[in-house]
Amino acid sequence: MTIQRWLILAAVLVLCLWVLLPIYLIVVSAFGPRDAVFAWPKSFWPVDFTTETVAFFFGAQGVLSGLLNSILVALMTMVMAIALGAPAGYALARFAFPGKNVYRLLVLMTRAFPIPVLAVPLTVRFIEFGLYDTLLGVALVHTALALPFAVLITSSLFLGIPRELEEAAWTLGCTRLQAFRRVVMPLAMPGLAATAIFAFIVSWNEVFAATILSLENRTLTAFLISVLGESPLYFKFAGGFFLIVPALVFIFAIRKYLFSLWGIASR
Amino acid sequence: MPKERLLAYLLLAPSVLFLLVFFAWPFAEAFIVALQVRGEWSLGNFATMARDINFAPALRNTMLLILVIVPLQVMLALSMAMLLTRIRRQRDLVLYIWTIPLGISDLAAGIVWLALLSEQGYINTVLDALGLIEGPTLWLSYERPVALFVAVVAAELWRATAIVLVILVAGVQLIPREYGEAAEVFGAGAWQRFRRITLPLLKPSLQSALILRTILALEVFAVVVAISGRDLTVLMGEAYFWQNDYRDAGVASAYAVLILGISIACTLFFLRALRVREETEMR
Amino acid sequence: MRSARGLVGVLLLAGLTVATAATGAETVFLSSQLRPIEEAEKVRQVLLRDAPVEANFITDEPPMVVNRMLAEARAGDVSVGLIGALHGELQPLVEADVLQPVDDLMARLQDRDFVESFVELAKYGGDTQYFIPWMQATYIMAAHRQALEYLPEGADLNALTYDQLRQWGANIQQATGDRRLGFPAGPQGLMHRFFQGYLYPSFTGGVVTRFRSDDAVAMWEAFADIWEVTNPRSTSYAFMQEPLLAGEVWVAFDHTARLMDAFRQRPDDFVAFPAPAGPQGRGFMPVLAGLAIPAGSPDPDAAAQLIDYLTRPEVQVNLLREVAFYPVVDTELPTDLPQGIQIAGEAIAAQTAAPDALPSLLPVGLGEREGEFSKLFTDTFQLIVLRGADVRETLDRQVEVLRRLIEETGAPCWPPDQPSDGACPVD
């Protein structure tokens, strides 16, 4: 092995540790006894493994339902963002038409506006339309937040797929739709998956709109932020841990898409 | 080509409709709120905002955070994307690990770094073992603004670099291998191939990543609150506190309008600086 | 891919079902109090278990509770059945006329023997009863026993002065090398109450009228000195029981409910005592929480039954036992109360009965703009103490903010300021 390969390996390992070590340490904190948060010096190995903290965290009302709500809201957001965003992204990438730049700018501006102001005027109307305190209501606002990203990312994605391929399919007798499904979609699928993760994350991370637009049906983040400032350190750490768990699972579940993305380029 | 044009508009229509209802309309209402004080048109909210003792520090901190975090993240993500092209085994595992932070909320990232940096935290334990500090040391306090700033940068770097990475990796995937191989045949070194081929072809991805991250950095909020409380003020935090604690939607909206202005300026800058020509993209 | 799409569809449907099926027969009890997760759990699992009607106890931060009630009233669709909030927090709702008067209910509850001054407070200076008193608390001091040996010579814990507090902190720092006084000056801490109800009254004898007096200048200078020996983490503290239990802080000021864990978990380690006194007396702030029914409540009868239940003497004692808020009805306290509650109770009694006691109310009459009033004090603190601005100049600038606020709201003076006709005169 050359020095260069060793360097690359070292860099990769360091970067992996950079991601994993903080997660490992929050796990150790979450599964330690309550007073371990004040222990000094800190042990890097789990001592006194106990589920007392975690059990208390899950026993607290609002945690389990918050978890479920967060996932459902994020899934709804994901579906709506892709369904609305990908067609627009495609149009931006493929067609020249008047108003294109205006649309592009408007889409960017959407995301550039802070969440609070979107959510506050929405509260009263949401009550009027029966959307207040529903998961769908929160998901709709999250979709408004995620949609511009979906448009932006998919447009850059479709831009990267040579239109000659599509045109070739047309000359071979495919209709526009067929060409899209058979040629563009397979190439775009991994990227769309990345876009979907992104929409999921936007929703999963969002706190303010979720807090302001809900009363009982709280997402986990909204629930946590409303009790966090008043919670003891061990509860915070357990909360941090359970916010992270879905990240591990979710990214693991879609790793194939990320990997097949890899496969296309090395074909 | 009117038929193509029609198709384009049809594809755009659903998103436009959605954004009209869930963006344009509350957006307009927010502007109205920012420009009214107790029912009368006025710039009073902006005056209150500018007079506030936290306005100047919040503006300064937000701009500094963007200037530090965004370039660091793009450089780090670019290095990671390049490293990924050089790994032969376990690429999917590495990619998985590096993208884990994608699913980590900013709130969680703040909590994680709070655990690392607290007085009796892990980082202090290491510093103590190395003899750099003596006993538990308080970093996250108003007396150490630099430490607070570094902590927020570290947490953001840890959490949000993965987003840039995914966009860049998606971009790198789409660069045909043949280009690099051809360049290699002509004797181009690794650095030259990166500069002359990879980087230019990554432009659309880079543009997306930069815009995205800048706007997200403008909105940085939960991480800052989790780590510093209010010792480090940022624009988004002030908007939240005015809305939530002082119940002054007018001033909160004024902050929002300011944040909007800054984001538009940044976006326009990146669109111009990294101009992408659709038709000539993959020559 | 098809199966994945199907899965998403199913989940989406499930989400919609959950989203729409969230209405039940139970009464929504929205509270700005008892928010800490452990306390809220106690309310749900212990206090409301035997309630005559099903209640769903949910909490939110005070401004959110108020905003929500105003929004629900504006939309004409009220989902909350019962509100539990502080006297001052309910006021904007009174002004917006979104509370249902409860005079009838009050008449029915005559046998409860409510503290008379609390019943009056619930009328906001008029004749209509807007809420039923629920529970009370106040702010006191707590100290770790280790700190007692550094108490300045001649100082009496039950009659401490601010000067002695500073000296105490200095002694501790000298002996241990650490600053171990603590204040809840974090974003979610109640530091503004310390300025409004304790420091200002103790040093100036007023709050609004004396905001920029020479006494106030002396006060801020004295407090800056106290801050010199205060743990710098104080700007992030919300609940002082945390740093007390952690040993970061040895002497602290906070709300009784926010100190209770320390007394409860380690009753032998911690003592409670009244707030210190300044030149004008021993300023302190009693806190009253009330129960109110929103106009258009989905089930006013259920809400009334809940109020009836929550104000029963035995439930009030249970409330004290579980979450350490003190009763608002005249009742004999049992002798078997947990030690922590006893510790705090003695300090509260000593504080109220101190010869130099100077009770100060929560701000009254500022309505929705009370947050601005609190911000005024924390901003002034930020500028003078944390950023080292000139005291005189800062007060002269900040007083304009106060003047505008008082004039625009027309709020009359409240104790300890002398009563005024019309807006409280500033300066």
Helix residue ranges per DSSP H, C237-299: 241-246, 260-265
- pLDDT tens across B131-160, in order? 888 878 888 888 888 999 999 999 999 998
Average pLDDT, chain B: 83
- pLDDT tens across A163-217, in order? 888 888 888 888 888 888 888 888 888 778 878 877 887 788 788 788 767 767 8
Q: Look at residue A67 in the predicted model and tell me its pLDDT.
A: 86
How far is C-alpha B57 from the chain's CA centre?
20
Distance between CA atoms of residues A16 and A160, nearest Å: 29
Task: Evaluate whether residue B60 is within a structural domain.
Answer: yes
One fold for both C25-137+287-353 and C138-285+357-409?
Answer: yes
- The answer, yes or no, to whether residue A255 has pLDDT greater than 90, is no
* Beta-carbon contacts below 8 Å between B and C: 51
CB contact (8 A) between residue B248 and residue C61: no
- Does A79 touch chain C if contact means CB atoms closer than 8 Å? yes
Distance between CA atoms of residues B205 and B166, nearest Å: 10
- The answer, yes or no, to whether residue A253 has pLDDT greater than 70, is no
* pLDDT-based confidence at residue A228 (cuts at 50, 70, 90): low
- Percentage of residues in chain A having pLDDT higher than 90: 17
CB contact (8 A) between residue C19 and residue A127: no
Q: Look at residue C57 in the predicted model and tell me its pLDDT.
A: 93
Q: Look at residue A213 in the predicted model and tell me its pLDDT.
A: 76
- Does A192 touch chain B if contact means CB atoms closer than 8 Å? no
CB contact (8 A) between residue A144 and residue B23: yes
Q: Look at residue C377 in the predicted model and tell me its pLDDT.
A: 95
Over range C377-403, report the average pLDDT. Answer: 94
Distance between CA atoms of residues B1 and A226, nearest Å: 54
Task: Evaluate whether residue B7 is within a structural domain.
Answer: no
CATH code for the domain in which residue B165 is found: 1.10.3720.10
Q: Omega of the bond prior to A186 within 30 degrees of 0, cis? A: no
Choose from A258-262, B246-250, C294-298, C419-423 the range with maximum mean pLDDT: C294-298
Least CB–CB distance from A217: residue in C22, C67, C72 = C22
Helices and strands in chain C: count of H runs, count of E runs? 18, 11
User: Which residue, among C227, C369, C375, would best test binding to B if mutated, counting the most B CBs under 10 Å from its CB?
Assistant: C375
Give C169 or B170, the one with higher predicted confidence.
Answer: C169
Which are the contacts of B100, defined by CB distance < 8 A and separation ≥ 6?
A: A19, A20, A23, A247, A248, A251, B162
Least CB–CB distance from C383: residue in B53, B140, B143 = B53
Q: Which two tokens stand for residue A37?
A: 């948060």
Q: Look at residue C399 in the predicted model and tell me its pLDDT.
A: 95
Over range B53-66, report the average pLDDT. Answer: 93
Q: Look at residue C15 in the predicted model and tell me its pLDDT.
A: 41
CB contact (8 A) between residue A212 and residue C35: no
Let me know: does C384 contact C224? Beta carbons within 8 Å. yes
The 3-state DSSP class for residue C289 equals strand
- Percentage of residues in chain B having pLDDT higher than 70: 96
Which of A16-31 are b and which e, b meaning 16 or more Cβ less than 10 Å from the residue's Cβ? Answer: bebbeebbebbbbbbb
Choose from A247-251, B24-28, C293-297 the range with maximum mean pLDDT: C293-297
Over range A8-26, report the average pLDDT. Answer: 92
Q: Which two tokens stand for residue C261?
A: 């864990």
- The answer, yes or no, to whether residue C103 has pLDDT greater than 90, is yes
Q: Omega of the bond prior to C286 within 30 degrees of 0, cis? A: no
* pLDDT-based confidence at residue A259 (cuts at 50, 70, 90): very low
- The answer, yes or no, to whether residue A153 has pLDDT greater than 80, is no
Q: Look at residue A121 in the predicted model and tell me its pLDDT.
A: 66
- Does A210 touch chain C if contact means CB atoms closer than 8 Å? no
Selected from 3.40.190.10, 3.30.230.30, 1.10.287.3510, 3.30.470.20, the CATH number assigned to the domain covering C138-285+357-409 reads: 3.40.190.10
Neighboring chain A residues of C30 at a CB cutoff of 8 Å: 215
Among A211-220, B88-97, B255-264, C82-91, the minimum mean pLDDT is found in A211-220
- pLDDT tens across B10-49, in order? 999 999 999 888 888 887 877 888 888 877 888 888 998 9
Which of A235-261 are b and which e, b meaning 16 or more Cβ less than 10 Å from the residue's Cβ? Answer: bbbbbbbbbbebbeebbeebbebbeeb
Q: Look at residue C12 in the predicted model and tell me its pLDDT.
A: 43
The 3-state DSSP class for residue C423 equals coil
User: Which residue, among C37, C83, C190, would best test binding to A if mutated, counting the most A CBs under 10 Å from its CB?
Assistant: C37
* Secondary structure (H, E, C), chain B: CHHHHHHHHHHHHHHHHHHHHHHHHHHHHHHHHHCEECCEECCHHHHHHHHCCCHHHHHHHHHHHHHHHHHHHHHHHHHHHHHHHHCCCCHHHHHHHHHHHHHCCHHHHHHHHHHHHCCCCHHHHHHHHCCCCCCCCCCCCCCCHHHHHHHHHHHHHHHHHHHHHHHHHHHHHCCCHHHHHHHHHCCCCHHHHHHHHHHHHCHHHHHHHHHHHHHHHHCCCHHHHHHHCCCCCCHHHHHHHHHHCCCCHHHHHHHHHHHHHHHHHHHHHHHHHCCCCCCCCCC
- DSSP, res C329: B
Q: Look at residue C21 in the predicted model and tell me its pLDDT.
A: 36
* pLDDT-based confidence at residue A257 (cuts at 50, 70, 90): low
- Does A123 touch chain C if contact means CB atoms closer than 8 Å? yes
Domain ranges of chain C: 25-137+287-353, 138-285+357-409
- The answer, yes or no, to whether residue B277 has pLDDT greater than 70, is no
Is the pTM above the cut of 0.80?
no
Q: Look at residue A113 in the predicted model and tell me its pLDDT.
A: 60
- pLDDT tens across A21-69, in order? 999 999 888 888 877 777 777 778 877 778 888 888 888 777 888 889 9
Pairing of strands C99-100, C286-294: antiparallel
Q: Look at residue A262 in the predicted model and tell me its pLDDT.
A: 35
- DSSP, res C182: E
- The answer, yes or no, to whether residue A251 has pLDDT greater than 80, is no
Least CB–CB distance from B229: residue in C64, C236, C374 = C236
- Judged on CB neighbours under 10 Å (0-12, 13-18, 19+), C30 is buried
Which of C259-285 are b and which e, b meaning 16 or more Cβ less than 10 Å from the residue's Cβ? Answer: bbbbbbeeeeebbbbbbbbbebbbbbb
If one counts every other C-beta atom within 10 angstroms of the C-beta of residue B200, the result is 10
The residue segments making up the domain with residue B83 are 35-109+150-273
Task: Evaluate whether residue B137 is within a structural domain.
Answer: no
Least CB–CB distance from A135: residue in C18, C59, C246 = C18
Pairing of strands C132-144, C286-294: antiparallel
- The answer, yes or no, to whether residue B250 has pLDDT greater than 80, is yes
Number of domains, chain B:
1
Over range A218-246, report the average pLDDT. Answer: 80
Give C258 or B198, the one with higher predicted confidence.
Answer: C258
CB contact (8 A) between residue C235 and residue B142: yes
- pLDDT tens across A66-114, in order? 889 998 999 999 999 999 999 998 998 888 888 888 888 777 667 656 5
Distance between CA atoms of residues A222 and C200, nearest Å: 36
- The answer, yes or no, to whether residue C287 has pLDDT greater than 80, is yes
Neighboring chain C residues of B140 at a CB cutoff of 8 Å: 233, 236
Give A133 or C240, the one with higher predicted confidence.
Answer: C240
Q: Look at residue B158 in the predicted model and tell me its pLDDT.
A: 94
- pLDDT tens across C231-280, in order? 998 988 888 998 898 888 999 999 998 898 899 889 999 999 999 999 99
- The answer, yes or no, to whether residue C331 has pLDDT greater than 50, is yes
- The answer, yes or no, to whether residue C181 has pLDDT greater than 80, is yes
Class of domain C25-137+287-353: alpha beta
The 3-state DSSP class for residue C140 equals strand
Domains of chain A: 61-228 (1.10.3720.10)
Pairing of strands B36-37, B40-41: antiparallel
The 3-state DSSP class for residue C174 equals helix
* pLDDT-based confidence at residue B55 (cuts at 50, 70, 90): very high
CB contact (8 A) between residue B119 and residue C382: no
Closest by Cα among C95, C76, C79 to C29: C79
| Residues constituting chain C | 427
Over range C275-292, report the average pLDDT. Answer: 93
- pLDDT tens across B207-237, in order? 878 887 888 888 787 888 888 877 888 988 8
- The answer, yes or no, to whether residue A264 has pLDDT greater than 50, is no
Give B121 or B174, the one with higher predicted confidence.
Answer: B121
- The answer, yes or no, to whether residue C93 has pLDDT greater than 70, is yes
Neighboring chain A residues of C37 at a CB cutoff of 8 Å: 60, 227, 230-231, 235
| Amino acid making up residue C121 | L
